[in-house]
Amino acid sequence: MGLKIKWNDDRVREATTAILLIGRDRLFHGLAADLVQASLADYRNNPEHYKLNKAALADSRELGPLRKPAHVAHYRSLLAAVDALLKKMERNKRQSNSLLELDNHLVSSLRNVR
């Protein structure tokens, strides 16, 4: 029997929060290319480092260190897209069979956010 990751699983919320927090940091450093995929890769490659640093980061709803208008607009668009995706996953009661499938769904759904 395969691993089922339901829409309300903590791993979904952790992955989307990681996309936002790591993505915000990447935007601040000017690394906007493949933002969602790179953020998820950073999270999956070192989840313990992310969890240790998460407490020191500002809430994912805040703009944190972002000051450039283009970065602020990109981050706000990403926030809105993540919220919409989570609502859609809840409405459809979406399940994934693996973390890879979940990550692929998140990347494909959020890839074109600008």
Q: Let me know: does 58 contact 80? Beta carbons within 8 Å.
A: no
pLDDT tens digit sequence for 86-101: 999 999 999 999 999 9
Residue 2 has pLDDT above 70, yes or no: no
Q: How many structural domains comprise the chain?
A: 1
Phi-psi region of 63 (alpha: psi -120 to 50; beta: other; left: phi over 0): alpha
pLDDT tens digit sequence for 22-55: 999 999 999 888 999 999 999 999 888 777 677 6
> Rounded to whole angstroms, how far apart are CA atoms 63 and 44?
23
Q: Let me know: does 92 contact 7? Beta carbons within 8 Å.
A: yes
* pLDDT at residue 47, rounded to an integer: 82
> How does residue 1 score in pLDDT terms, banded at 50, 70 and 90?
very low
Q: Let me know: does 7 contact 32? Beta carbons within 8 Å.
A: no
Residue 73 belongs to domain spanning: 5-110
> Rounded to whole angstroms, how far apart are CA atoms 100 and 98?
5
